[in-house]
Amino acid sequence: MAWRFLVLPLVVFAACAMDPARAARDQALTDLDIAVGQHRFAQAEAQARTFLAVPTGRLDERCPALLALARAVDGQGRAAEALDLLATLGRECASVPESSARGLVEVASLAERLGNKAVAERAWSRVVTAFPDDPAAQRAAEAVRDLRKEAAGPDAAIEALRRLYRVVPDRQVSPFLLFLAARLAEPTAPDRALSLYRRIAEAHPSSGMANDATLAAGRLALALGRPREAADLAERLLAQREWSYLLGSYDLDLYPDAAFLRAEAAAAAREPPAAVAGWYDAFVRWFPKDSRASEARTRAAAALATPP
């Protein structure tokens, strides 16, 4: 008898799958997207208006068509009309994340082309806070950085990025916001940058940026004359390399950098000559094809030749 419970769902699914009207609308949206992508803007506008003239009550159909219409209109040089359409998209399609995110990106890009940088910055900021797990959020964060820096300087850009971080402190874009801020802070406020890098590693340890932030923090600590701190940060990364070998995963590109940093930190901290030479030798042993291998051999020999 159990098979009977499967019959009705399968029949309903098959009926939906074979609905010719729905299939036609899906194909129309695909054709519309292709027309915009190929810059056939006049044709795309006509297709979009024809599609929107038949109300279906489905936002997952209306919203992509509105977005395509706005892009088609903008492609024909009617920027103000495109902005109006995108405003409509924003009002009607907040519950359709994909269309809303793409719509905001279009608003921001269009505003930049029109020279309205204040509107562009607000739109890019909204992409970050409304869609922090969307790939567009990283692009938006970079745009906010650039616009704020151009308008008011690096400190203002750092604060804008940190303000966005406070709104979305635990999403995919969050560590990227801090990383951008740290990069900006390095030239004039290295201690502040070091703090931001450390915060990424501590608050977002599972992020893909945690290792990059740890390496950046180690390099900065060494540049600031804090070799023991640099050594500690380098060793954290190298400890992960050991686990990677146990788990059978590949080396990350940053492991050679971490190994060389550890050797540099040993030299800067005036560790015993044998220890300094040992770290340089380890670098060569682990990464013999690295371009710094010859330099590491030379430094190892020089360390051993140094009087105790």
Q: In the structure, what pLDDT confidence band is assigned to residue 271 with cuts at 50, 70 and 90?
A: very high
Residue 100 pLDDT exceeds 80? no
Question: For the residues of the chain, what is the DSSP string, one character each?
Answer: -TTHHHHHHHHHHHHHHT-HHHHHHHHHHHHHHHHHHTT-HHHHHHHHHHHHTS--S-HHHHHHHHHHHHHHHHHTT-HHHHHHHHHHHHHH-TT-HHHHHHHHHHHHHHHHHTT-HHHHHHHHHHHHHH-TTSTHHHHHHHHHHHHHHHHH-HHHHHHHHHHHHHHSTTSTTHHHHHHHHHHHHTTT-HHHHHHHHHHHHHH-TTSTTHHHHHHHHHHHHHHTT-HHHHHHHHHHHHHHHHHHHHHTPPPPTHHHHHHHHHHHHHHHTT--HHHHHHHHHHHHHH-TTSTTHHHHHHHHHHHHHS--
Summarised one tens digit per residue, pLDDT across range 125-148 is 999 999 999 999 999 999 999 999
Residue 242 pLDDT exceeds 80? no
Architecture category of domain 38-115 in CATH: Alpha Horseshoe (1.25)
Of 109 and 8, more confident? 109
pLDDT of residue 258: 96
Average pLDDT for the chain: 87
Q: Give the domain ranges of the chain.
A: 38-115, 129-184
Summarised one tens digit per residue, pLDDT across range 147-185 is 999 999 999 999 999 999 999 999 999 999 999 999 999
Rounded to two decimals, the pTM is 0.78
Residue 31 pLDDT exceeds 60? yes
pLDDT of residue 244: 52
Summarised one tens digit per residue, pLDDT across range 272-293 is 999 999 999 999 999 999 999 9
